[in-house]
């Protein structure tokens, strides 16, 4: 194999496929990026057996077809530090890879591309499409409340409820629920799938923030494929039944608070400074007609804050882990939020 391409373009696509490279594995081939040059063009692939990413053809001058698997970390470090504008990559029959750019030349050992695991095939029949920026926001606003331990595997992912013209994304960690809905450009009927949190965290890093950029989503029983145009990501799905979350939402309330988000976050952060362990030392909210009093007490001392708010309904005292409130508030873009309370324990 021999090809020449732009260094900046090469580095851009390395950063994308690196999201699917395994850092801890007993299979050295999973620590590699697969470089392929053929009639389709120059393509790079990463695959850790849970997530696979394959780039679209990268603009390059291909002198000789072939493929090689190259250790991702050293390949990334070399390309990042090259001082030329273009990079020439060549391999020999022993899979030795020569990288030349500017005044630099490196030779490192690769592996046969035949040993690299292929990405699962996902039939592109059931299509759902939406703006990348919308999905990026949906993931950011829900992923903080997925479960971090594996005792309930379905809760380590997010529920995607795909409909003909809308999508709901839900995460639950046993203490809180995050729900976000948005519109679809294209839908193929009603489907519910659970996507691993790791997949969504890595996908979020490569989704575009441009309003005009869209992505296509395809599904099988066990896999989901995200086609971003510049690359495709394939991930396994989590099998099992997600919890029935809808019954947790209600418009019935005894107390409603409309409050400035930034002021509330800052007050909660200051109050929680006296807490060594937020789980054992929650913040107490006392809601009255003129606003919200926030109190925290621990063996370190006490803290008290008052935030002006519009309050409707009964006075209420309730306590929370401050981190849960802060993370939820930070995920909201609007400056004013509405909080509704059922009772002092719900």
Span 134-183, pLDDT tens digits? 999 999 999 999 998 888 999 999 999 999 999 999 999 988 999 999 99
Q: pLDDT grade, residue 248 (50/70/90)?
A: confident
**Could you say which of 91, 115, 139 is where a domain stops?**
115
* Pairing label, strands 166-172, 177-183: antiparallel
Does any domain span residue 121?
Answer: no
- The answer to whether residues 213 and 256 belong to one domain is no
> Residue 122 domain-assigned?
no
Beta bridge partners of 53: 46, 233
> Does the residue 120 lie in any domain?
no
Angle ∠(10,137,175) on CA atoms, nearest 5 = 120
Residues 237 and 153 in one domain: yes
| Residue 258 and residue 206 share a domain | no
pLDDT at 279: 58
Residue 98 in contact with residue 107, Cβ under 8 Å? yes
Task: Please report whether residue 131 resides in a domain.
Answer: yes
Same structural domain, 162 and 93: no
- Same domain flag for 237 and 259: no
Residues 57 and 38 in one domain: yes
Alpha carbons 324 and 151: distance in angstroms, whole number: 20
pLDDT attached to residue 300: 85
On whether both 44 and 145 belong to a single domain, the answer is: no
Which domain CATH number covers 223? 3.10.150.10
Let me know whether 102 and 151 are in one domain: no
Q: What percentage of the chain reaches a pLDDT higher than 90?
A: 85
Of 60, 92, 115, the domain-final residue: 115
- Which band of pLDDT confidence, cut at 50, 70 and 90, is reported for residue 252? confident
In a domain, 139, yes or no: yes
308 closest CA partner among 289, 329, 327, 333: 289
- The residue out of 227, 246, 265 marking a domain boundary is 246
Query: Residue 88 above 70 pLDDT?
Result: yes
Q: Do residue 238 and residue 272 come from a single domain? A: no
What tokens were used for 274? 């006296």
User: 340 pLDDT exceeds 60?
Assistant: yes
Domain that holds residue 43: 2-115
Same domain, 73 and 154: no
Per-residue tokens: 57: 């053809």
Q: Phi first, then psi: what are they for 322, rounded to 5°?
A: -60, -30
Report yes or no: 215 and 228 within 8 Å, Cβ to Cβ: yes
Residue 202 lies in a domain: yes
17 in any annotated domain: yes
Query: 71 and 138: one domain?
Result: no
43 contact partners, CB below 8 Å, separation of at least 6: 35, 36, 37, 54, 55, 56, 57, 58
- Identify the band that residue 14 occupies on the pLDDT scale cut at 50, 70 and 90: very high
Residue 108 belongs to a domain: yes
Q: Are residues 23 and 45 both part of a single domain?
A: yes
Looking from the CA of 134 toward its CB, the CA atoms found within 13 Å total 18
Residue 142: its pLDDT value, please?
97
* Number of domains into which the chain is organized: 3
């Amino acid at each position: 194999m021999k090809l020449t391409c732009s260094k900046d373009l090469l580095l851009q696509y390395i950063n994308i496929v690196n999201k699917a490279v395994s850092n801890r594995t007993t299979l050295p081939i999973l620590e590699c990026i697969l470089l392929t040059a053929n009639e389709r063009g120059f393509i790079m692939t990463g695959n850790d057996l849970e997530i696979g990413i394959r780039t679209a053809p990268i603009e390059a001058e291909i002198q000789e077809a072939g493929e090689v698997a190259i250790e991702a970390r050293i390949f990334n470090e070399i390309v990042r530090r090259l001082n030329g504008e273009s990079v020439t990559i060549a391999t020999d029959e022993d899979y030795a890879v020569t990288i030349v750019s500017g005044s630099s030349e490196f030779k490192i050992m690769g592996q046969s591309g035949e040993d690299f695991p292929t990405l699962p095939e996902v039939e592109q029949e059931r299509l759902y499409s939406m703006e990348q920026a919308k999905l990026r926001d949906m993931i950011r606003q829900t992923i903080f409340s997925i479960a971090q331990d594996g005792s309930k595997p379905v809760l380590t992912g997010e529920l995607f409820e795909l409909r003909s013209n809308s999508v709901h994304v839900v995460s639950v960690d046993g203490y809180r629920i995050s729900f976000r809905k948005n519109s679809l450009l294209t839908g193929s009927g009603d489907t519910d799938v659970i996507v691993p949190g790791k997949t969504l965290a890595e996908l979020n890093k490569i989704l575009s923030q441009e309003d005009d950029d869209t992505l296509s989503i395809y599904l099988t029983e066990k896999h989901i494929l995200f086609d971003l145009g510049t690359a495709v990501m394939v991930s396994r799905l989590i099998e099992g039944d997600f919890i029935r979350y809808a019954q947790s939402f209600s418009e019935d309330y005894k107390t409603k608070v409309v409050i400035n988000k930034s002021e509330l976050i800052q007050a909660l952060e200051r109050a929680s400074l006296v807490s060594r362990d937020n789980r054992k030392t929650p913040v107490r909210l006392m809601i009255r007609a003129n606003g919200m009093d926030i109190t925290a007490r621990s063996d370190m001392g006490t803290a008290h804050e008052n935030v002006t708010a519009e309050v409707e309904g009964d006075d209420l005292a309730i306590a929370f882990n401050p981190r849960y409130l802060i993370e939820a508030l930070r995920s909201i873009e609007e400056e004013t939020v509405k909080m509704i309370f059922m009772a002092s324990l719900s």
